[in-house]
Amino acid sequence: MIRAEHLTMIYGKDFKAVEDLSFSIGKGEIVGFAGPNGAGKTTVIKMLTGILRPAEGRALINGFDIQKEPLKAKASFAYVADNPDVLLQLKGVEYINFIADIYKVPDEERKARVPELAERFGILDALDTPMREYSHGMRQKLMVIAALTHNPPAWILDEPMTGLDPSAAYELKQMMREHAAKGNCVLFSTHVLEVAEKLCDHILIMNHGHSLYQGTVDELSAAHPGKDLEEIFLSMIDHRSTQEEEK
Ligand SMILES: Nc1ncnc2c1ncn2[C@@H]1O[C@H](COP(=O)(O)OP(=O)(O)O)[C@@H](O)[C@H]1O
Ligand SMILES: [Mg+2]
């Protein structure tokens, strides 16, 4: 449902932020996309979602090439960007309706889904307030609600937990589980491996634009006996940085 094939991104003249990255996420899967700040996670997500055109490779969402069939591809996924500070002059409900209009969500579906989602995130009372008066966490919640209103098969979420309070983070994790359990797929990035560890079967760890690990959490733990996941993660990243410095 989400496929990255040999994705490469070059910023400026020759800075390879992502190099030859491939992975595949199938039905019913939640994949945690982990890596430290600057690893290239957002760049990959922007290539998957058609915001950036890859220098090489291609991205397929639900079978649609994001560059060749952008509208079909885009109608089939929800995207939450890493920065929720958009259109702050709008009230929450206006932003949700704006996004729902783009995705042609019927009125009945909005009426059914929006209050439910807003209730789960505890911001039902704030929907009539302009977003400039929202805290970072409230803006983040609103972005998630707007993205999920059209309920597409694939979810692509860039650092969705950042700024969420524990109960909203819990709700979002529950929603991801429910969505995947219905045969859909979820990709979310995080710089905190613990989140991925608890939520996903599969993780993808990247650093310096390269994939360091793709597979299950259990296999990774089994390959490094006696270490917890955070220690394994840090040792992988350290190892890689040392290699880079030696070059
Ligand atoms: N628009 C840009 N122009 C130049 N360099 C960029 C740009 N966006 C990101 N980068 C660089 O690309 C690398 C990967 O960034 P990013 O994809 O945002 O990583 P992550 O999301 O994992 O923190 C970093 O070194 C970052 O500084
Ligand atoms: Mg990022």
**Candidate from 8, 9, 11, 161 with most ligand 1 atoms within 8 A of CB, to mutate:** 11
Beta bridge partners of 193: none
Virtual torsion, Cα 118, 121, 122, 124, nearest 10 deg:
-10
Return the ligand 1 atom nearest residue 9 CA.
12
Tell me if 66 sits within 8 A of 49, measured CB to CB: yes
Task: Indicate which residue's Cα is closest to atom 8 of ligand 1.
Answer: 43
Range(s) for CATH 3.40.50.300 in the chain? 2-76+154-246
pLDDT of the residue at 106? 94
Give the whole-angstrom CA distance, residue 108 versus residue 67. Answer: 32
Which atom of ligand 1 is closest in space to residue 37's alpha carbon?
Answer: 23
Ligand 1 pocket, residues with Cβ under 6 angstroms: 11-12, 17, 35, 37-43
Tokens of 169: 């983070």
Listed residues: CB within 5 A of ion ligand 2: 41-42, 82
**Contact assessment for residue 191 and residue 159, using Cβ atoms and an 8 Å cutoff:** yes
Ligand 1 centre to CA of 7 (Å) is 15
Q: Are 55 and 10 in contact (CB under 8 A)?
A: yes
Cα-to-centroid distance, 52 and ligand 1 (Å): 12
Per-residue confidence (pLDDT) for residue 125, from 0 to 100: 95
What pLDDT, on the 0 to 100 scale, is given for residue 239? 60
pLDDT at site 166: 87
Q: Which two tokens stand for residue 225?
A: 């006996």
CA distances from 133 to 87, 88, 126, 140 (A): 12, 8, 9, 13
Q: Which residue lies with its CA nearest to atom 5 of ligand 1? A: 11
**pLDDT string in tens for the chain (247-residue length):** 999 999 999 999 999 999 999 999 999 999 999 998 899 999 999 999 999 999 999 999 999 999 999 999 999 999 998 888 889 999 999 999 999 999 999 999 999 999 999 999 999 999 999 999 999 889 999 998 998 898 899 999 999 988 888 888 888 899 899 999 999 999 999 887 777 888 887 999 999 999 999 999 889 989 988 888 888 888 887 765 544 544 4
Å from CA of 178 to ligand 1 middle: 32
Is residue 82 classed exposed, middle or buried when 0-12, 13-18 and 19+ CB atoms within 10 A define those classes?
A: middle
Question: What is the CATH superfamily name and number for domain 2-76+154-246?
Answer: P-loop containing nucleotide triphosphate hydrolases (3.40.50.300)
| pLDDT (0 to 100) of residue 234 | 85
